[in-house]
Amino acid sequence: MSWFEAKKEKPAIPPAKALWAVCPKCKSHMPKEEWKANNAICPRCNYHGRLSARERIAQVADEGSFEELFRAVSYSDHLEFHDASGDYKSKVEATIAKTKETESIVMGRATIGGHPVMLGVMDFAFMGGSLGTGTGERIARACETAMAEKRALVIFSASGGARMHEGILSLMQMAKTSAAIGKLKESGLPYISVLTDPTTGGVSASYAMLGDINITEPKALIGFAGRRVIENTIHQKLPDDFQSAEYLEKHGFIDKIVERKDLKAFIAKMLNYWGC
């Protein structure tokens, strides 16, 4: 075959999504390496992007201090739920295989600035950080362990709400976690709640808003029902910044907005204040 007849192989070009990160807020494009190096914070609008549970733990817990607990506590499929897209069991098992997590919250012992805590971090990649029976059970057990070991409780929330595949059993976790946190507070131990983007639905309506101090990151979406649902119900136009961290802080629902780089030091400062 002559040289001009030989077929040339096209160079492999990585897809755009493999090279570029897109800020969900301002839609700015930046190299993924820049996005990761900046801890998933947009350098243009300061939007704080989502992190996995393990990334959060690495940022906030003292190095080497995290000891995972309750990993065997997972979902329940009492309803044998299925819909047009398939059955719940297959969906959650696929999520477990993809994320390498067994529930939407990773829980364990840790120290933050030298202070012993029970640390829970929700992962939105696990079925939208939904509140299931396993999630609620892990939080309840964390409260019991915290009381037994005299540890403060710190939970990072990131959730779309209750896991409706589990029906009423999922909704019951709102009351279960609230009661467990109530017992923790009665024992005199503090609970620090960190609401990250997004924290909505049954999670925002239960344990996420029950902290002795409720803090969040800049521009986080925090609310219960969605904007369209509310506007269609009350027949009014909502403010542009409605359900943002800044709006909630202004109206007294959030105590403090803290930059991601300052979270560890701020939590340690609060624990020091409580003498934990």
Tokens representing 39 are 């801890």
Instruction: Match domain 50-274 to its CATH number in 3.40.50.720, 3.90.226.10, 1.10.3720.10, 1.10.760.10.
Output: 3.90.226.10
Query: pLDDT of 192-251, one tens digit each?
Result: 999 999 999 999 999 999 999 999 999 999 999 988 999 999 999 999 899 999 999 999
Are 23 and 45 a contacting pair, CB within 8 Å? yes
Give the per-residue pLDDT at 276. 81
Query: pLDDT of 32-87, one tens digit each?
Result: 888 888 888 988 888 888 999 999 999 999 999 999 999 999 999 999 999 888 99
- Residues 181 and 242: their CA atoms lie apart, in Å, by 28
Asked if pLDDT for residue 122 goes beyond 90, the answer is: yes
As a whole number, mean pLDDT of residues 116-127 equals 97
Burial call 66-102: b when 16+ CB within 10 Å, e when fewer: beebbeebbbbbeeebeeeeeebeebbeebbeebebb
- Residues 273 and 116: their CA atoms lie apart, in Å, by 14
Ranking 5-14, 213-222, 253-262 by mean pLDDT, the lowest is: 5-14
Per domain, the residue ranges of the chain are 12-47, 50-274
Confidence bin at 29 (pLDDT 50/70/90) = confident
Give the per-residue pLDDT at 14. 54
Mean pLDDT of the chain: 92
Give the per-residue pLDDT at 8. 57
Give the per-residue pLDDT at 19. 83
Confidence bin at 10 (pLDDT 50/70/90) = low
Give the per-residue pLDDT at 97. 97
pTM check: above 0.85: yes
Give the per-residue pLDDT at 189. 97
